[in-house]
Amino acid sequence: MLWGVLQFPGSCDERDALHACSLTGEARLIWHQERDLGGVDAVVVPGGFSYGDYLRAGAIARFSPAMEAVAEFAEAGGPVLGICNGFQVLCEAGLLPGALLRNENLRFSCRQVDLIAAGATSERLTTPEGSQAFTRSPFLRGIEPGERLSIPVKHGEGRYYAPEEMLDEIEARGQVAFRYAPGQNPNGSMRDIAGVVNEAGNVLGLMPHPEHAVDEMTGSTDGLKLFEGVAGLVPG
């Protein structure tokens, strides 16, 4: 299992993402100017402030050579995980629906929150052999619908927004991956949405930071489940 973690000027969570990935396989950094992902099995677009968040968070990063390669990789079904700024980049790139706006209370939110795994995990597919059932998104394989995960958030622009009709469609297609637990929505996200997947399920974006929740020392290892889910699909 080889993970690739993107690194933009202004990224700041790529090292933690690299560490989280390395707990479930090999991991390497991919500089934003690289057009070739080098045969990785999955990609993480990490948190931070790519290109200084100029214009809009994620707006410039989306045009980098590495992101062009990631878009092709995602199109071909490759697993892509966007965390925080990475989620913003994936939305700007049109790989995920919706947009992230400034937090409702204008405050930078930095705290541990509970997430509830939503519908995206409930749709189970069966392999051609019929022997193994797995969840729709490779990142959510090890997570039961309704399961609570303790994961930190730290962002100033994390208010998930999409027009009502689009939200209805996203929900109907089971694309909501995580919601903030009742009363814990830190940013005013519509319908408490913390993370969504694309239609195929191979691209997941979320504002909370699973890569900061992989060690008991920092209070929770729930984030590791997302990385393990993908790693379990790739032999070796």
Partner 1 sequence: MAKTRARVLIRPKEGILDPQGKAVEQALPALGFEGIGHVRVGRMVELEAADPERLPELCEKLLANPLIEDFEIEHVDGG
Instruction: Count the residues of the shown chain that bind partner 1, applying the rule CB under 8 A.
Output: 17
Q: Where are the alpha helices (DSSP H) in the chain?
A: 14-22, 65-75, 85-92, 164-172, 224-231
Among 19, 56, 154, 173, contact with partner 1 (rule: CB under 8 A)? 56
The one among 38, 77, 146, 163 contacting partner 1 by CB under 8 A? 163
Residue 63 is a binding residue for partner 1 (CB under 8 A): yes
> Tokens 């994961």 map to which residue?
151
Which of these is catalytic: 84, 92, 212, 228? Answer: 84
* Token pair belonging to 58: 């994620």
Of these, 26, 68, 75, 104, which contacts partner 1 (CB under 8 A)? 104
Tell me: does residue 162 bind partner 1 (CB under 8 A): yes
Structure token pair of residue 231? 């790693």
106 binds partner 1 (CB under 8 A): yes
Of 14, 92, 157, 211, which one is the catalytic site residue?
Answer: 211
The reply to whether 165 sits near partner 1 by the rule CB under 8 A is: no
Q: E strands, 32-173, where?
A: 42-45, 80-83, 99-101, 109-117, 124-126, 133-135, 148-155, 159-161
Q: Where does this chain touch partner 1 (CB under 8 A) — which range of 20-28, 99-107, 122-130, 221-229?
A: 99-107
User: Which of 41/192 has CB closer to partner 1?
Assistant: 192
> Residue 236: what residue type?
G
Task: Identify which range of 15-23, 122-130, 156-164, 204-212 contacts partner 1 by CB under 8 A.
Answer: 156-164
Question: Looking at 31, 38, 55, 68, which residue binds partner 1 (CB under 8 A)?
Answer: 55
User: For residues 143 and 204, what is the distance between their CA atoms, to the nearest angstrom?
Assistant: 14
In this chain, which of 103, 121, 135, 185 binds partner 1, going by CB under 8 A? 103
* Residue 76 burial class via C-beta count within 10 angstroms: exposed 0-12, middle 13-18, buried 19 and up: exposed
Distance in angstroms (rounded) separating the CA atoms of residues 124 and 106: 38
Would you state the structure tokens that stand for residue 205, as one six-digit string?
């974006």
Q: Give catalytic status of residue 84 as yes or no.
A: yes
Looking at the Cβ atoms of 92 and 114, the one nearer to partner 1 is 92
Is residue 194 part of the contact set for partner 1 (CB under 8 A)? no
Based on the shown chain and the rule CB under 8 A, indicate whether residue 80 belongs to the binding site for partner 1: no
188 is an interface residue for partner 1 by CB under 8 A: yes
For residues 49-71, one letter each, b for 16 or more C-beta atoms within 10 angstroms of the residue's C-beta and e for the rest, the string is bbbebeeebbbbbbebebbebbb
Residue 110 is among the residues annotated as catalytic for this protein: no
Q: Please, is 35 exposed, middle or buried when counting C-beta atoms within 10 Å of its C-beta (0-12, 13-18, 19+)?
A: exposed
Could you list the residues that contact partner 1 (CB under 8 A)? 55-56, 59, 63, 92, 98-99, 101-106, 161-163, 188
